[in-house]
């Protein structure tokens, strides 16, 4: 079988033979390739033609530099680097190979992983790249980089360079804690300033990653055949977070690990406040797999962790005291929110590429390539693409209409759009709605009445009642009532069966009030449910001391789980809403979990919205904390200093 590498070598040999012949006809007759070679060469040409339309040339308004990007959806969403959008601020100008220039607005940014999402405006049928699988890529595979090096694409025709993947699973250390490149791709395809943020494709024209780093000669910013790209699989993990319009963070396991001399990744220290600790991970435990990937060295673990967003819950397999444990672990964030914002504000991106201009005096390149700087004053970044000493750049009206500033967000406009989509889907699939597609009546004197039985032998009858002021759970002869919202905190932290009441109460209030009135609410992004894909949409609402998360299926919009956090250092109450196959509305089972344990399953028989006058309450209130207590309060630990040179923070 002839591959692309063979075809390239054979083509050169055939060309050499043609030019070496002395016959006049050799210079006039077209070269005839072997049909197999011709097929492969045509395939390469077609792949380039297929990939070029999705490449984006990014320009900072006002002439402040630029870079590259790649379109990933017909409605204008594109990926690029954080360090490309950073000088531009909230909007930029983008060119495509169709010869048109479009206004673009920032959507979301990931300063830790050097990713950003922008949206090009003006049409809804942009050519998009086909996303590939970077995990399937291997060293030696053919690839191509398409972009805007040195801002040469003044005619909006991007530059195409061809090469191979020199390595996969590379790790490039961050600058402090920002601009970390983990599990990235290395290529010898020419990558230069201006290629940043642009696509790297495989030989079939499928998107493998986002170019971001390259190595240069000492005497100038010229590529030496070592470029790096953020893997598309990492980008896939962050697409939902970026579309939320937020400034997003990466994950940490809350532990340090080291590589054993005989192989194996062993925990050398761990935070007692981490979810990994609650799942049994301890000093000396050997980590075997995380998020479905085998890890054999500390570098392997670091590579996997670099691709995961803060807050994700993934599968973890480890060996401790001779036993193999498979569990789920919820990731911590690398930064606190204010810490990330502070570091991001102080981070200066690499100097942007500028169009090359001839130097009449042809000065020494060492001096020509050094930027002028004031040693007494740190460099300052101009806002919104404004160049120092230049008048402010006017923001186009179309951009203004899709730009809302808010702390912690790159662009709150897109978060509001996701919130609206969430509440519309929630109300459309709510089972107790009298008129399909319409929200429940905003009458505080109504409530939910849910009846069923426990999933056990013998089964016990269950009745659940919730109103705006009171809620109760009756299992057999036991009744648990809550008539003060302050009691919900204790119910969740103590891990009782009554933990399903705060989840149902939050669900009902969200249906009635919507995100804008529920409390502080925002769309988080997408994450696995129970460590499983597809990634679910996640909505967050803050109600007093509780944080509630709704996890919805991306296709149906049906809520599949509600998580209620009372303390981030303890397990939340998780109410899983299980449905029969193809059922879109009525949950058939309510499954209450803490950590990885299910403590109550209720088979639902009926679910109604009724007047509060029809609900019955017990004469004597029972203590909601007297049973089902699986959790206890845990002290917060701290990582100790370590001197092991092989240790890495996961």
| Residues 142/203, Cβ–Cβ less than 8 Å | yes
Specify the pLDDT at position 641: 32
3-state secondary structure of 606: strand
Element (H, E) at 492: helix 486-493
Distance CA 254, CA 272 (A): 9
Nearest to 596 by CA among 331, 333, 329: 329
Beta-carbon count within 10 A of 304 CB: 25
Contact 111, 344 (CB under 8 A): yes
For position 484, what pLDDT does the model report?
81
Q: Taking the CB of residue 152, how many other CB atoms lie within 10 A of it?
A: 17
Helix (H) / strand (E) element for 212: namely strand 207-216
The alpha carbon of residue 183 and the mean position of all alpha carbons in its chain are separated, in whole angstroms, by 15
Evaluate whether 510 touches 426 at the Cβ level (below 8 Å): yes
Residue ranges in 282-374 assigned as alpha helix (H): 298-305, 337-346, 365-368
Q: Give the other-Cβ count within 10 Å of 377's Cβ.
A: 7
**Residues 427, 433, 437, 442: is their CA dihedral positive or negative?**
negative
Tokens describing residue 269: 């220290």
Q: What are the 10-residue block averages of pLDDT along the chain, 650 residues in total?
A: 48 47 60 83 91 95 88 98 92 94 97 97 96 96 94 89 95 90 95 94 96 74 84 98 97 95 93 95 97 95 96 97 96 92 73 48 41 37 48 86 95 97 88 48 75 94 92 93 87 93 94 91 97 97 94 93 93 94 79 96 93 79 42 29 43
Element (H, E) at 35: helix 35-51
What pairing do the DSSP bridges indicate for beta strands 251-252 and 323-330?
A: unpaired
Which tokens go with 37? 């070679």
Beta bridge mates, 290: 293, 316
H/E run at residue 233: helix 232-243
Q: Are 462 and 451 in contact (CB under 8 A)?
A: yes
Q: At 30, list the tokens.
A: 């077209």
Helix (H) / strand (E) containing 158: none
Name the pTM for this structure.
0.84
The encoded tokens of residue 115 equal: 């990713």
Which residue matches tokens 């004197």? 445
Domains, in order of start, for the chain: 4-33 (no CATH), 52-243 (2.40.10.120), 251-333 (2.30.42.10), 413-614 (2.50.20)
Q: How far is CA 20 from the centre of its chain?
A: 55
> d(Cα 584, Cα 276) in Å, to the nearest integer?
34
Q: Give residue for tokens 């050398």.
A: 268
According to DSSP, the residues that pair with 54 across neighbouring strands are: none
- Three-class DSSP category at 82: helix
Looking at residue 631, its pLDDT comes to 34
Sign of CA dihedral 279, 282, 288, 292: positive
- HEC string of 360-373 equals CCCCCHHHHCCCCC
For residues 191 and 230, the answer to whether their CB atoms sit within 8 Å is: no
Beta partners for residue 247, in sequence order:
109
CA-wise closest residue to 211 among 148, 283, 129, 124: 148
Distance CA(542)–CA(515), nearest Å, equals: 10
Whether the CB-CB separation of 46 and 83 falls below 8 Å is answered with no
C-alpha distance from residue 50 to each of 4, 129, 203 (Å): 17, 9, 11
Task: Answer whether 55's CB lies under 8 Å from 198's CB.
Answer: yes
Residues 6+ apart with CB under 8 A from 542: 519, 520, 521, 548
Q: Please report the pLDDT score of residue 363 as a whole number.
A: 44
What is the dihedral sign for C-alpha 558, 561, 567, 569?
negative
Backbone torsion region of residue 194, taken as left when φ is above 0, otherwise alpha when ψ lies between -120 and 50, otherwise beta: left
Q: Determine the Cα–Cα distance for residues 530 and 527; give it in Å rounded to an integer.
A: 9
Which positions ≥6 away from 4 have C-beta within 8 Å?
40, 43, 44, 142, 203
Structure tokens at 617: 């309450």
Residue pair 114/145 in contact (Cβ under 8 Å)? The answer is: no
Query: CA-CA distance, 413 to 401, in Å (whole number)?
Result: 9
CA atoms within 13 A on the CB side of 8: 10
- The secondary structure element, H or E, covering residue 543 is strand 532-543
DSSP letters, 403-459, are ----TTBS-HHHHHHHHHHHHHHHHHH-TT-SSTTSPPP--TTEEEEEEEEESSSS-
């Amino acid at each position: 079988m002839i591959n692309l590498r063979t075809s390239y070598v054979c083509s050169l040999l055939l060309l050499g033979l043609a030019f070496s012949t002395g016959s006049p006809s050799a210079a006039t007759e077209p070269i005839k390739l072997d049909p197999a070679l011709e097929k492969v060469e045509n395939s390469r040409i077609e792949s380039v033609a297929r990939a070029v339309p999705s490449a984006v040339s990014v320009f900072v308004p006002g002439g402040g530099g630029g870079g590259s990007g790649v379109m990933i959806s017909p409605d204008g969403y594109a990926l690029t680097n954080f360090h490309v959008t950073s000088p531009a601020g909230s909007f930029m100008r983008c060119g495509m190979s169709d010869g048109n220039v479009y206004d673009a607005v920032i959507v979301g940014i990931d300063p830790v992983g050097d990713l950003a999402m922008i949206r090009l405006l003006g049409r809804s049928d942009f050519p998009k790249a086909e996303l590939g699988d970077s995990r399937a890529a291997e060293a030696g595979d053919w690839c191509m980089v398409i972009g805007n090096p040195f801002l040469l694409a003044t005619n909006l025709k991007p530059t195409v360079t061809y090469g191979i993947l020199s390595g996969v699973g590379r790790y490039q250390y961050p600058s402090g804690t920002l601009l970390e490149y983990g599990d990235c791709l290395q290529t010898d395809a020419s990558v230069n300033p201006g290629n940043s943020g642009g696509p790297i494709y495989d030989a079939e024209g499928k998107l493998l990653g986002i170019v971001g780093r390259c190595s240069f000669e000492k005497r100038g910013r010229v590529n030496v055949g070592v470029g790096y790209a953020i893997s598309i699989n990492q980008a896939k993990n962050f697409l939902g977070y970026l579309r939320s319009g937020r400034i997003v963070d990466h994950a940490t396991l809350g532990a340090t690990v080291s590589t054993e001399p005989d192989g194996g990744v062993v925990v050398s220290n761990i935070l007692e406040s981490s979810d990994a600790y609650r799942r049994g991970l301890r000093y000396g435990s050997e980590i075997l797999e995380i998020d479905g990937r085998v890890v054999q060295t500390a570098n392997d673990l670091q590579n996997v962790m670099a691709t995961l967003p803060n807050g994700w819950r993934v599968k973890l397999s480890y060996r401790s005291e001779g036993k193999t444990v498979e569990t789920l672990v919820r990731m911590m964030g690398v930064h606190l929110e204010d810490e990330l914002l502070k570091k991001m504000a102080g981070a200066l991106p690499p100097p942007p590429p500028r169009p090359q201009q001839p130097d009449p005096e042809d000065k020494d390149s060492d001096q020509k390539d050094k930027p002028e700087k004031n040693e007494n004053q740190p460099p300052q970044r101009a806002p919104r693409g404004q160049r120092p000493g230049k008048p402010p750049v006017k923001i186009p009206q179309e951009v203004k209409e899709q730009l809302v500033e808010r702390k912690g967000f790159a662009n709150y406009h897109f978060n509001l759009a996701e919130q609206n989509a969430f509440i519309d889907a929630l109300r459309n699939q709510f089972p107790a709605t009298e008129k399909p597609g319409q929200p429940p009546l905003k009458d505080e004197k109504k409530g939910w009445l849910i009846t069923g039985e426990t999933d056990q032998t013998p089964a016990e009858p269950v009745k659940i009642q919730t109103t705006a002021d009171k809620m109760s759970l009756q299992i057999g002869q036991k009744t648990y009532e809550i008539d003060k919202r302050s009691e919900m905190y204790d119910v969740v932290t103590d891990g009782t069966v009554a933990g399903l009441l705060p989840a149902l109460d939050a669900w009902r209030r969200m249906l009635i009030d919507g995100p804008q009135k529920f409390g502080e609410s925002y769309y988080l992004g997408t994450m696995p449910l129970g460590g499983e894909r597809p990634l679910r949409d996640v909505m967050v609402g803050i109600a007093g001391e509780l944080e509630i998360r709704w996890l919805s299926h991306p296709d149906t919009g049906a809520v599949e789980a509600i998580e209620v956090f009372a303390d981030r250092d303890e397990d939340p109450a998780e109410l899983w809403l299980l449905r029969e196959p193809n059922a879109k509305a009525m949950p058939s089972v309510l499954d209450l979990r803490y950590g990885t344990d299910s403590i109550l399953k209720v088979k639902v028989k009926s679910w109604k919205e009724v007047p509060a006058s029809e609900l019955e309450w017990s004469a004597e209130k029972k203590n909601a904390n007297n049973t089902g207590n699986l959790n206890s309060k845990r002290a917060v630990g701290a990582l100790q200093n370590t001197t092991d040179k092989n240790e890495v923070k996961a």
